A and B are shown apart, each in its own frame.
Chain A
């Protein structure tokens, strides 16, 4: 199973499972990152973290620490 943190820029996947920090998950949920959402990694910040991703037509940043808990198919 791949996680969002393992995607290279330009790659995308569909979320099948999210866990980790409850607050972070809830915040991502509120923004529309839920099971079934398609996410694409756009780029990685110059210092290697955080990531920029696209979902539902907008751009979002999150750290690898959160992305590692988002499993994709």
Chain B
């Protein structure tokens, strides 16, 4: 019945009287809690594998929903993003508050809220819990991780706490499934219990001056209790939040109340925190018994090493090297397997269908296109597996702690480091992993520069060009010039990424330095089931959204390379026919069209075609070169024939060699900078807000990177010629 209220901005937020009377039927439950409380584990335990992951409309906050069934009927559960308060100052918090007040688009106001509270950290967890209790919704508190709390000598009395809060408290151990049945029963019964109310009173003056704000909110349909909670919260925040944007004159009323609170000698910004924590202190006094000896905990001992001045950064670097190395080495056989599978599938279909355009469309367009998407899956899976382990164990926050100072020197946040590092493997999962960065501007800046990190798809290009044109000579006694060239390409990308980020943060994405206020949670063992679920969520998100765009573009590129047709001249070999076909196709003609533009870089039309076709993915450059030079599309960077043909290629007319080492270096520099990867573009569109906003960011990124690529390649080639190296 609450379904009708979904998405309507002016729907009354107060639950209808029927709510309390309802005994069974469909129940909508929202799960809310601090980060690191085991909330997601509890969600997984409640709902099992029946989950759906999507996005809230208009923002890149993950929306996780699941369902279960109890004796009285089905229950849907939405797992809200982890949050410390309902201050609505980050996108995550804003969503949590919008859902709880029934103002999230496409979602009904929940019938019951479950606040997950960490028993070992009751004080801080009760802050959010007490805010939620005032929202005028039936609420159940799941006191989670009671086992870990007891081990630390913290004993919470759930019965006492129930009396203090005015809402049922259920002790749970989500990791072992303990207390779930009791929790499910409490959820079903919650709507028939009286609603909790604020359990503490404000200083006399404050209560009076907040009344006009509360009245405005109540007039706009807010439950009286929720209006009280919002009014108190609004005193402390800098913007009122999107879910209140429709309330008339609210900003002025809040400003007036703030001035009056100040005039009464109180501090308006900390009034809520001081009142709530004052009350919480008393509650904890009455409900928590401590038997701890104050001994150093396991986490203290581990952090003494992992955050040590010298050992800390070394362990961090070693861990990153391990992660990075694994992404390369473990994904290699899997990528080979995916490529082999699609190659075999293509060959089988090619044999089964009659020769012709349909055959070619299915084999070279659809199957090859889908294959080029799936080939990213191994890297995405492995990276998110590692990121999940780092996040679950609590090390991710430590990594940000160690790297924050360094990242701040380029205007970014400690949390930006790991996504950037992931970019060395593949920008696609890297961009997807920027969701842990709280500040939208930092996140955008990180996404904008991430594809400058040399990803693994550039390796075939580097390998082909270095192997063909850079002499394998020893310099400085021990270094090989080929190796140095490769290292130089990686350094060039990395330093440029950091520099460009600094520029963006000073110009386009300028903003106040965001504070780095973050909990360092106790170390925990990762939960395999939760890990598996979150990795498969990421993979399916990528496949669903990016997959469709990439497939469409693959078919477009196929069409450009296939039409118009060129009939092979008599006596041509298959490879010559392929070469002639490509030269005469729209793509080949486009190569001729762009030739004047790439000529200043020292390129001919064939390289132009290679660059155009590599828009699909960088490594396609190598196979296109294989087709153009008639050694077959199966050419790879190690192909000796391709290398010889490239070395021998001359310009029409002048007869000068096309590929000098200078051209090769310029071409590599071009690929260091150019954003030739439609998968990354598709993911950037999605992660920068989707729709036209996302398209604009992706287009801007493609444009600036292309300009950087072109300018640098021009500088290398023309500058090198001036110096007489060409």
Contacts and interface: CB of A to CB of B under 8 A. Distances in A.
Interface string B250-275: 00000000000000000001101110
Contact of B512 (A21, A27, A29, A30): A21
Contacts of B285: none
A62 B400 CA distance: 11
A37 B236 CA distance: 19
Contacts of A45: 307, 401-402, 404-405
A30 B273 contact: yes
B269 A48 contact: no
B519 interface: yes
Contact of A47 (B124, B277, B406): B406
Contact of B124 (A27, A32, A43): A32
B415 to A, nearest CB: 11
B123 interface: yes
A31 B124 contact: yes
Contacts of B84: 27, 30-31
A21 B124 CA distance: 22
A16 interface: no
B468 interface: no
Contacts of B517: 24, 27-28, 31, 60-62, 66
A45 B397 CA distance: 12
Nearest to B90: A27
Contacts of B313: 46
Contacts of A35: 270, 274
Given A30-B273, A31-B84, A46-B313, A21 B515 contact: yes
Contacts of B484: none
B312 A46 contact: yes
B124 A49 contact: no
Nearest to A25: B269
B87 A63 contact: no
B121 interface: yes
A26 B404 contact: no
Interface size class of A (residues with CB under 8 A): 20 to 34
Task: Point out which of A37, A46, A52, A63 has the most chain B C-beta atoms below 10 A from its C-beta.
Answer: A46
A49 B518 contact: no
A58 B405 contact: no
Given A25-B269, A25-B270, A57 B123 contact: yes
A8 to B, nearest CB: 14
Interface in B612-671: none
Given A25-B269, A26-B269, A32-B124, A60 B520 contact: yes
Contacts of A31: 84, 124, 127, 517, 519
A43 B520 CA distance: 12
Given A24-B515, A49-B404, A29 B236 contact: yes
B234 to A, nearest CB: 11
Interface string B489-519: 0000000000000000000000011011111
Given A18-B270, A21-B515, A30-B85, A49 B405 contact: yes
Given A59-B520, A62-B516, A34 B307 contact: no
B148 interface: no
B516 A30 contact: no
Nearest to A20: B515
Interface string A29-73: 111101101000001011111101000111111110110000000
B273 to A, nearest CB: 3
B124 A56 contact: yes
Contacts of B87: 26-27, 30
Contacts of B406: 47
Contacts of B127: 30-32
Nearest to A30: B85
A35 to B, nearest CB: 7
B89 interface: yes
A1 interface: no
A26 B239 CA distance: 12
B236 A27 contact: no
A9 B270 CA distance: 27
Given A35-B274, A43-B307, A50-B405, A27 B89 contact: yes
A50 B519 CA distance: 12
Contacts of B400: 61
Nearest to B403: A47
A50 to B, nearest CB: 5
Contact of A60 (B237, B310, B312, B519): B519
Contacts of A48: 405
Contacts of B513: 65
Contact of B121 (A28, A29, A57, A63): A57
B238 interface: yes
Interface string B300-324: 0001000111101100000000000
Nearest to A63: B516
Nearest to B312: A46
- The 10 tightest CB contacts between A and B, nearest first, are A29-B273, A47-B405, A30-B85, A24-B515, A59-B520, A56-B123, A49-B405, A46-B309, A26-B236, A27-B517
Interface of B: 84-85, 87, 89, 120-121, 123-124, 127, 236-238, 269-270, 272-274, 277, 299, 303, 307-310, 312-313, 397, 400-402, 404-406, 408, 512-513, 515-521
18 contacts: A21-B512, A23-B515, A24-B515, A30-B85, A30-B87, A31-B124, A31-B519, A32-B127, A49-B404, A49-B405, A49-B408, A52-B307, A56-B124, A57-B121, A58-B519, A59-B519, A61-B397, A65-B513
Given A46-B312, A60-B517, 11 more contacts: A22-B238, A29-B270, A29-B273, A30-B127, A49-B408, A50-B401, A61-B401, A61-B518, A63-B516, A66-B515, A66-B517
